[in-house]
Structure 1
Amino acid sequence: MEREHDDCRAGLRDGLWDGAVEAALRYYRAFLRRPGRHLDLCFEVSCHPESSLVNVANARDILEEALHLLPLPARAELGRLVAPLDAGLRRRTLPDPHACRRFRRGGGWWHRRLYDGDFRW
């Protein structure tokens, strides 16, 4: 599936690449393993596709794209992996009340969380 969709689709700046789903899951898990009660998302610092996954919202975008493209059995399996990660992200990040001013419309809820350096209310 990754090889078939190795292009820029559905808002993914770098599209999918061979190993994108595995990399996205790895970065998502690593983000949630960080210590502390609350976590802030970080902006990416490089244009390399895998470097963009430092921003866990980009990693989640890749997983969302894969969930839409995979056939039903594989989609269900990936969904079982993503659901607890999403629950952890919701629990350990705070909503950003000003996200609508900064981020594209139609992005997933994971784009509307506080980023590093944002004002905590």
Structure 2
Amino acid sequence: MPRRRPRALRAEHQVSRIWGPAPPFRIHGLSAGASLAVCRVEFLSGSFYIRPGATEQALRRYRDFLQPLGRRPLYPQEAACPCPGCAFDDVRYARDVLEEVLERLPARARAELGRLVKPLDAVFLRRTLPDPFTHRRQWRTQFWWYRRLADRSEWG
């Protein structure tokens, strides 16, 4: 029986101090390095809403909202519950999560995730309608995705 090399033996028993025995999962569309950077940001974030797996869930929710083909406008719905699990019912919250993760990422990973989000933003702008009463609202947001018409069925 051949002898196993010491490097192979050490690799079997290597446990990361941050991730534990299982490595973080890879986000569809991102490289392994960018996925690792996103997982690191999610794990080390002190935010209540950013937790491990939130970026993948936000990307999936954003894509699913824009998925129905056609030319009819889409209207984001308010989330019925503000808890982290139910908040993803509102696609604008998913975009908030993506924005916060983008702000915290290093430059290379930010650019890579930005290349995934930018075409989705263009479709969101094209498929949603601007809110004509944004300037009259008591609360004003700095994010453009809240200045679109909402509160109706997502499917038209």
Please classify the TM superposition score into its range, dividing by the shorter chain length.
0.7 to 0.9
**Counterpart mapping for 1:43-82 below 5 A:** 43-82=78-117
Cα displacement string for residues 30-53 of structure 1 (whole angstroms, at most 9, x for unaligned residues): 000135421001000123313211
Q: Could you tell me whether the CA contact under 8 Å between 1:29 and 1:85 is conserved in 2?
A: yes
- Higher mean Cα deviation, 20-29 or 42-51? 42-51
**Counterpart mapping for 1:1-121 below 5 A:** 1-7=41-47, 14-36=48-70, 37-102=72-137, 104-117=139-152
Partner of 1:10: none
How many residues get paired?
112
Q: Could you tell me whether the CA contact under 8 Å between 1:42 and 1:56 is conserved in 2?
A: yes
Give me the whole-angstrom Cα distance separating, in 1, the residues matched to 2:138 and 2:86.
19
Q: 1:44 corresponds to which letter in structure 2?
A: A
TM-score, reference length from structure 1? 0.83
TM-score, reference length from structure 2? 0.65
Runs of 4+ deviating beyond 3 Å: 100-104
Give me the whole-angstrom Cα distance separating, in 1, the residues matched to 2:78 and 2:108.
33
Q: 1:25 corresponds to which letter in structure 2?
A: L
Q: From the superposition, tell whether residues 5 and 28 of structure 1 become closer, same or farther in structure 2 (CA, over 3 Å).
A: same
CA drift at 1:15? 2.8
Q: Counterpart of 1:3 in 2: which secondary structure?
A: helix
Q: 1:74 corresponds to which letter in structure 2?
A: A
